[in-house]
Amino acid sequence: MESIAVLMTKPIYSYLQAELEKRFKVLKLWEAQDGSRFLEDHNQIIRAVVSDGGTGLSPELMAALPKLEIVSSFSVGMDKIDLGKCKEKGIRVSNTPDVLTDDVADLAIGLTLAVLRKLPASDRYVRSGMWKKGEFKLGTKMLLYFQFSGKSVGIVGLGRIGQAIATRAEGFGCKISYHSRTPKPESSNYTYYPSVVDLAAHSDILVVACALTNETRHIINREVIDALGPRGVLVNIARGATVDEPELVSALVEGRLGGAGLDVFENEPNVPEQLIELDEKVVLAPHAGSGTEETRKGMADLVVGNLVAHFEGKELLTPVV
Ligand code: 8YV
């Protein structure tokens, strides 16, 4: 297998790269002086691409690789890969589901607590010496927290990650409601809302956990945000484009929304300046839902395992196409 050329377009994770290099001829596009020239020189030998949720597979790259057989993505999200086109061209696609579910759900709860209990502001309060100086008393002014236990949590998208968030929130005594394309009979203990606006109107915390598709792009729009309201909190661990970001920003600035915990943004790694300035009611993370050592290793092993299975003529471990 050492002669099989696998293209990486950017460095993703050193362990993943090392594991790939043990088995394949890894071509690193980012090291090339001239990327298009590099692709022209190697397009007859590249049989696989390793990508991730942020990069996917651009139409240009797909067109430039006539011998491409498989895209093994270091992500569960597939929104940056044209799956229909891959199917049409006979290109297999695999992703990394399940191994990251717990971590992403953990971060959703972490962000919720961080917003409601103002953890970053609390940390700054202690570090800056303000506590010692007695400039604020706990429970007053900036450090008046909000309770999480017992709140109503609405989840947009009750897939694997949404379900894991629901289970965790239940542990906090929260009432769980959800929106998805169709009700899930196996989740009859949760309230189903066919409309996201209605879900938001009945939630204190609205968590976005759905895949990004044409249907879910900007599913969190002004109407949904206004239904969540000035005491509501929006948490997004899915994809930035599920939320109309300018609407989110203006709702936070104008006080029409209570707070937000965001791991994903419309134009990563660019985060709107106003969100950065809103440091009391907004908690930000750098698209790090799956970013633990344990999970990233599990994801890397799946990326490699799918490639090995493909080139050994076996069933893919986690096929998408
Ligand atoms: C990764 C992701 O952070 O799984 C996904 O869909 O977005 C993430 O797990 C991303 O692929 C990082 O490379």
Average pLDDT, whole number, for the chain?
Answer: 96
The residue annotated as part of the active site, out of 179, 239, 296, 310, is 239
Give the pair of three-digit tokens for residue 157.
């998208």
pLDDT of residue 279: 84
Q: Which of 28-32, 109-113, 123-127 has the lowest mean pLDDT?
A: 123-127
Residues present in the chain in total: 321
pLDDT of residue 136: 65
Question: Does residue 143 surpass a pLDDT of 90?
Answer: no
Question: Does residue 218 surpass a pLDDT of 70?
Answer: yes
Separation of 53 CA from ligand 1 center, angstroms? 5
Contact 75 CB / ligand 1 (< 6 Å) = yes
d(CA 109, CA 261): 10
pLDDT of residue 170: 98
Model-wide pTM > 0.90: yes
Question: Does residue 142 surpass a pLDDT of 90?
Answer: no
pLDDT of residue 134: 76
Residue 54 backbone dihedrals phi, psi, to 5 degrees: -80, -30
In this prediction, residue 184 has a pLDDT band, given cuts at 50, 70 and 90, of very high
What is the average pLDDT across 193-208? 98
The residue annotated as part of the active site, out of 21, 170, 223, 268, is 268
The residue annotated as part of the active site, out of 23, 202, 218, 287, is 287
Rounded to whole angstroms, what are the CA distances from 200 to 34, 176, 265? 49, 12, 20
| CA-75 nearest atom, ligand 1 | 4
What is the average pLDDT across 62-82? 98
What is the average pLDDT across 31-44? 97
pLDDT of residue 244: 98
Separation of 81 CA from ligand 1 center, angstroms? 13
Q: Where are the domains of the chain?
A: 5-97+294-311, 101-284
pLDDT of residue 139: 57
Active-site annotation holds for 202 = no
pLDDT of residue 75: 98
Beta bridge partner(s), residue 205: 153, 233
Contact 54 CB / ligand 1 (< 6 Å) = yes
Question: Could you give the percent of the chain with pLDDT greater than 70?
Answer: 97
Separation of 217 CA from ligand 1 center, angstroms? 18
CATH number of 101-284: 3.40.50.720
Rounded to whole angstroms, what are the CA distances from 124 to 61, 121, 214, 247? 45, 5, 40, 28
Question: Does residue 140 surpass a pLDDT of 80?
Answer: no
What is the average pLDDT across 12-40? 97
In this prediction, residue 34 has a pLDDT band, given cuts at 50, 70 and 90, of very high
Give this complex's ipTM.
0.97
CATH number of 5-97+294-311: 3.40.50.720
3-state helix, strand, coil in the chain (%, to 5): 40, 15, 40
Asked if 5-97+294-311 and 101-284 have one fold, the answer is yes
pLDDT of residue 1: 85
Contact 76 CB / ligand 1 (< 6 Å) = yes
